[in-house]
């Protein structure tokens, strides 16, 4: 196995850890799905997300905070109102990089298995 390729994959896993943890919970997946269904401009308020997901207001707020820290969701404040939307520069792209890295390693494993 190519050590450089394995080091690159290890780095991609490390870079993806926060995003993987953030999207790994079903509650946060439901919130992301609600955000995808809602308006991107101006975004959605906690009450609107709550209406779609049927989670409590404190639960929605807690999970939104995790998604914001993972740079998947952004918040825009207008006075006392907060609007949440998927972050256009989202860290979700690190998952694409991770999947590409996994595909490279798997392809190399398959090539090596064919040689044996």
Report the predicted TM-score, pTM, of the whole model to 2 decimal places: 0.83
Q: Return averaged pLDDT per consecutive 10 residues of the chain, 116 residues in all.
A: 88 92 96 93 95 96 96 94 89 88 90 75
| 3-115: CATH architecture | Orthogonal Bundle (1.10)
75-80: long-range contacts, CB 8 A cutoff, minimum separation 24: 75/43, 76/42, 76/43, 78/42
Q: How far apart are CA 61 and CA 106, in angstroms?
A: 39
Q: What was the pLDDT predicted at 115?
A: 63
For residues 29 and 73, the answer to whether their CB atoms sit within 8 Å is no
Q: What was the pLDDT predicted at 93?
A: 86
Q: Which residues, including other chains, have CB under 8 Å from residue 91's CB and lie 6 or more apart?
A: 18, 19, 70, 71, 72
Please, what sign has the CA dihedral across residues 78, 83, 85, 90?
A: positive
């Amino acid at each position: 196995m190519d050590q450089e390729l394995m080091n690159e994959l290890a780095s991609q896993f490390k870079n993806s850890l926060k995003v993987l943890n953030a999207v790994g919970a079903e509650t946060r997946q439901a919130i992301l799905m609600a955000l995808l269904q809602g308006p991107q401009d101006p975004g959605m308020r906690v009450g609107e997300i709550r209406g779609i997901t049927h989670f409590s207001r404190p639960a929605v707020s807690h999970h939104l905070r995790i998604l914001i820290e993972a740079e998947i969701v952004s918040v825009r404040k207008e006075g006392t109102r907060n609007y949440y939307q998927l972050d256009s520069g989202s860290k979700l792209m690190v998952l694409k990089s991770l999947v590409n890295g996994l595909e490279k390693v798997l392809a190399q494993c398959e090539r090596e298995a064919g040689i044996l």
